[in-house]
Structures are given as structure tokens and as C-alpha cells.
Amino acid sequence: MHDIRFIRENPAAFDSGLKKRNLAPLSAEILEIDKRRRAAITEAESIQARRKQLSQQIGIAKRKGDNADAAMAEVAALDETLKRSEALAAELDAELTRRLEVLPNLPFDDVPDGTDETGNVEIRRHGSQRNFPFAPKDHVALGEANGEMDFASAARISGARFVFMKGRLARLERAIAQFMLDLHTSEEGGYTEVSPPLLVRDNAAYGVGQLPRFAEDMFHTDNGFWLVPTAELPLTNLANDTVLDEKVLPLRYTAFTPCFRSEAGAAGKDTRGMIRMHQFPKVELVSITTPEQSAAEHERMTARAEQVLKRLEIPYRTIILCGGDMGPASRKTFDIEVWLPGQGRYREISSCSNCGDYQARRMNARYRPKEGKGTRFVHTLNGSGLAVGRTLIAILENYQNEDGSVTIPEALRSYMGGHATIPGPAR
């Protein structure tokens, strides 16, 4: 949610931020609604003051035995005017909220301009792409060859964009998640593990910006709950309607959960394999911090996500998203893209975003500074640390062998009972 005071004081900066989002300037329209709203509030307050004055006069007149009919008639007339002014103020307040709540966050100044992913800028690469002495297969071919990645059964039972993971691949998925959690909750990682609810109410989805704009991207239950599209939703909402002491910040949370997305508008995109699923496992990272700490916390979070791929020795690159490709709640986003030799391209495996106070205003998440009076809104950040299914894909494709077997990365072998390989299909 945007701060109307910022728009009043910085209309040009607000429009400039919208331009970076490839949106038309809106400050004039928004400020006109705000002007009328404030005028209606001022009128209502003036009427209330006049009513109070008249009420006092009526009381005095009645005690003296004087006629108060004129004053009483004026009060009656003012009551009707007050109702209209209050109704207008409420209507304009609701209109202002409707306009502001669907607008995306304003990008930071160092976010590149651009309309889509072609405007994103690579900032670093790590690791070397493996030179295969054979034509590398994609994860579908590798997983289906031994029956442990079963799309056919999932389609029969649940439909498209679902998969059964069986046997060693199911264990590998669990091992990847455990490895990530251990890394993030270590002393170096500094995140607190949380097992959150997977069903949330409207206010929680609204708080992180999923509602009202992205209702169609989520699954909704018949009794009013939303299935979480990412653990960012419950973890960030741990601060909703809360005033924290600055001394406890930053708060850092991590969670391993299934995530649920309808993939509305994704028809025809990544229909083969596990890249884009309705249900997928992910380890999420969330930070709640002060405005002064958020930029450094953003770099730290991204580095922690990158550390997973470094330990697994899988090549990746990190890019900064342009204004036209960022999620609506973000002010700045780093995407980490992993190399998939089966596709011959880099694919997103993590997106780490600094949302500033955009979500905090929607959630009323504040902190009390060590020095000074009053409260301030926190800054919230979130990122994948990492998407477990896509990490499994990256392992299969980068560590595959010509006979269809897959070498298990050294960092995961203790989680896989000491095994060094996943055998290929029986011949």
C-alpha cells in the first residue's frame, strides 16, 4: 500500500516510479480524490463543532426557560448535512483505497528500466557449465526412465501440472529440503525454522499483496481459506498488527512447505515436466527489519540462497530484474537462475525481493525505534532458499551420467544414507 502523504509531497517522484513500472502517471487523479475526501472530512468536523456549540446553547436556553426552537431546528438540519458529509468522506476513502491497493510498489532508483525480462541485467555468474561427452537429457527423461517421476498417474488422479515422486527421487527431494533448512538455520545462516499454517484468511493474503489483485492465482477453499502460494504469506504475517522493539530486528524466518498456485494465465507455458506445477515444495526465507537495514539484508538473503547452489556445485547466475518484470510488492528483486543442461538455458530457482514498507502498511506491521518517539513501519523481504523441485531438476540434469544414473552431490550424501549415486534404469 502506498503512503498518501508521500504522494502529496512527492507527486513527480510517484509518477516517475510508476513510469519505471510502465504505468501512466496517476498522482493527479489520486490527489484529486484525496482533496475531495479531505474536504468532506473537514466539512463533517465543522458541522460537528457547530452541533456541539448549538447543543450547549440549547442546554443553557432550556435551563433559563428560553425558547430553543431555532437552535434545535438548526441541529436537525445539520444532522442531515453531517450524514451526507460523512457518507461522502467514507465513499471517497474507499475509492482512494481501491485505487492505491492495486498499484505496484515503486522501484528503487537503481532498478533497471525495461518492459519485460529482456530488460533484466546479469550481475554475476558462478560455476562452470559441464561439458558432456554425450547429449544430456532433461529431468523428465531421466526421472521417467526408472518410473520414479510419474506424471501419468498424477494426471489420472489430479490432472495436469502434478507429479508423483517415488523411491529414491522422493528421498532426494526430502534430502534437498533438509539440507537447505540445516544450512539456513545454522549459526552462519541465522534463520529460525517455522512450520506455518498452509491455509490463511483474506486479511493475511491482503497483507502481502496477493489480494485483491492475484486472487485468480491462488486456490480457495469452500469455507473461506486460501492455500498458500508460498510460505512468504504466513511468515511475513507473523508481524501483522504488531509493534516490535527495534532491538529484536532483524527477524529471520525459514520454512519448508508445499506451495499451491493455480498458474492462471500459464496455459501453454512449461507444460512438460516440473518447472511450473500447481503444487510444489519450497524452502522460503523471510526477513523483517528496519528501513536502514533492509538493503544490506537484501544482499545477505540473496547470498544465503546462492550459498545453497555453491554447496551443491551447480552453476548459476544472478540478475537484477527491471521495473517491468518485478513482482508488484517488490521495490528491488534479485533472481537466481540455475543452469539446466537438458534445456540448454538458465531458469529461475530463487527470487529475492525487498518490499520496503509496502506490505507493512497493508499489515500494520511496525516497530518502536530505540531512539525517538512513536513507531515506524518495518521493511519486509522474502526469497526462495530455494525452490526444492527446481533444485532437484538441476541436480538430475547437471549430475547425470551417460547410463542414466545420477551422481549425488557431495553435500547431500549424508542425507541420502551415504549413497553416491542414484542408479539408472535397469537394463
Is 331 tagged catalytic? Answer: no
Cβ atoms < 10 Å from Cβ of 252: 22
Instruction: Give the closest residue to 260 by CA, choosing from 327, 210, 306, 212.
Output: 210
Gap between the Cα atoms of 121 and 319, Å rounded: 5
Helix (H/G/I), strand (E/B), else coil: 137: coil
The conformation of residue 201, written as its DSSP 8-state character, comes to: -
Residue that is written with C-alpha cell 549424508 in the block: 414
Cell readout for 324 is: 517491468
Q: Does 161 participate in catalysis according to the annotation?
A: no
To 10 degrees, the CA torsion angle through 144, 217, 307, 247? -150
Q: Please identify which of the residues 27, 85, 351, 353 carries the catalytic annotation.
A: 351
Alpha-carbon torsion (113, 114, 117, 119), positive or negative = negative
CB 72 within 8 A of CB 58: yes
- What cell was used for 118? 529482456
Tell me 344's DSSP state.
T
The catalytic residue among 50, 130, 348, 413 is 348
Q: Does 348 qualify as catalytic in the annotation?
A: yes
Catalytic residue selected from 161, 261, 304, 331: 261
Vertex 235, ends 232 and 238: CA angle to 5°?
Answer: 140
Catalytic choice (232, 294, 390, 397): 390
Four-point Cα dihedral 129, 130, 133, 134, nearest 10: -70
Q: Decide if 307 contacts 285 (C-beta within 8 A).
A: no
* Nearest residue to 401 via CA among 123, 133, 213: 133
Sequence-separated (6 or more) residues with CB below 8 Å from residue 281:
173, 177, 256, 257, 258, 259, 387, 388, 389
Asked if residues 239 and 380 have their Cβ atoms less than 8 Å apart, the reply is yes
| 8 included as an active-site residue | no
- The conformation of residue 119, written as its DSSP 8-state character, comes to G
- The answer to whether the CB of 165 falls within 8 A of the CB of 149 is yes
> Is 276 considered catalytic here?
yes
Q: Which of 38, 51, 125, 276 is flagged as catalytic?
A: 276
Distance, in Å, from the CA atom of 191 to the CA atom of 53, rounded to the nearest integer, reads: 59
Compute the radius of gyration of the chain from its Cα atoms: 28
The residues that are catalytic are 261, 276, 348, 351, 390
